[in-house]
Amino acid sequence: MSKVRSQGAQPRPAVGVVIWVLYVLFIIVASLVGGVDYDEIAASTDNAIKAIVVPIGVGAAALVAAAYYLGWWHRVFRDDVRSPRWTLLVPAFMAIAIVVALATADWEGKSTSLIAWLFIGTIFVGIAEETLNRGLVLTAFRGGMGEVGAWFWSSSLFGLMHGVNIITGQDVGPTLRQIVFAFVFGGVLYATRRATGTLLVAIVLHAMWDFSTFMAGDTDVSAVSGLQGIAGFLAVATFVVAALKRSIFLPPYGDEVKENAEPSTPSP
């Protein structure tokens, strides 16, 4: 029996939605219990630990465990079929944007302890949100629709998940912008998974982007400029080209793709 058809729960969109809802509810409760406003997370070491390290760390562990117990481990973390090599430009441009952001970050304005805990916390964020959205949810949606639909709906849920920040103290305007940004960023991370064949690269890029955002001292992720903004724009533009050419929508498991999935058109 192949890795894709190994024993485990059958992937279905409803399963992914249930997991997503449970995680979002957990984050809402944990945020309210922690009592740290979103805009104050990077203000102190104590805030970082209470707001992201502890709750997101627990959530990340639960999601990784879910991937194992559902029997989806391979499908959550790997794609057997990669998109064309030129689509590696998507993660490459994102990496450049992150390096620029870290090079210009406010390292002097934060204590070593705060920097360390923010780094640990954002690693947990990368693991949790990628395992959920580009892992479990994407796998579940692939079980009931084609690759385009799986990308769109998993990215949509990723965007909506950031609406929780209104509950944790972020203003409505920045939150709405963050939802739109997260949807687009979700597409970039999806393309990263398809280009590299692994979720691990998306986890690292996600974590480092969030870390650089906190280190910049500005949690409004729409505020990018200069070389960082150019590199980010090029990553998005490359993703759009790849999506229009359907280069990133190849069946992820070749001959093992589910019979109920709509066909994808390979790029020329």
What is the C-alpha separation between 136 and 76, in angstroms, rounded? Answer: 6
Percent of the chain with pLDDT over 70: 88
Per residue in 226-258, pLDDT tens? 788 899 999 999 999 999 999 999 999 865 544
Backbone angles phi, psi at 78, to 5 degrees: -140, 150
Predicted confidence band at 7 (pLDDT cuts at 50, 70, 90)?
low
Between 39 and 242, where is the model more confident? 242
Q: Average pLDDT for residues 87-111, to the nearest whole number? A: 92
What is the C-alpha separation between 163 and 33, in angstroms, rounded? Answer: 18
Mean residue pLDDT of the chain comes to: 88
Q: HEC states along the chain?
A: CCCCCCCCCCCCHHHHHHHHHHHHHHHHHHHHHHCCCHHHHHHCHHHHHHHHHHHHHHHHHHHHHHHHHCCCHHHHHECCCCCCHHHHHHHHHHHHHHHHHHHCCCCCCCCHHHHHHHHHHHHHHHHHHHHHHHHHHHHHHHCCCCHHHHHHHHHHHHHHHCCHHHHCCCCHHHHHHHHHHHHHHHHHHHHHHHHHCEHHHHHHHHHHHHHHHHHCCCCCCCCCCHHHHHHHHHHHHHHHHHHHCCCCCCCCCHHHCCCCCCCCCCCC
- Give the CA count within 13 Å in the CB-facing half-sphere of 5: 8
Per residue in 49-72, pLDDT tens? 999 999 999 999 999 999 999 999
With beta carbons less than 8 A apart as the criterion, state whether 9 and 15 touch.
yes
Q: Average pLDDT for residues 76-95, to the nearest whole number? A: 97
What is the C-alpha separation between 88 and 238, in angstroms, rounded? Answer: 9
What is the C-alpha separation between 29 and 32, in angstroms, rounded? Answer: 5
Residues whose CB falls within 8 Å of the CB of residue 69, separated by 6 or more in sequence, listed in order: none
Task: Name the β-bridge partners of 198.
Answer: 78
What is the C-alpha separation between 77 and 79, in angstroms, rounded? Answer: 7
Q: Which two tokens stand for residue 64?
A: 């990784």
Between 265 and 87, where is the model more confident? 87
What is the C-alpha separation between 225 and 248, in angstroms, rounded? Answer: 28
What does the domain layout of the chain look like in residue ranges?
13-256
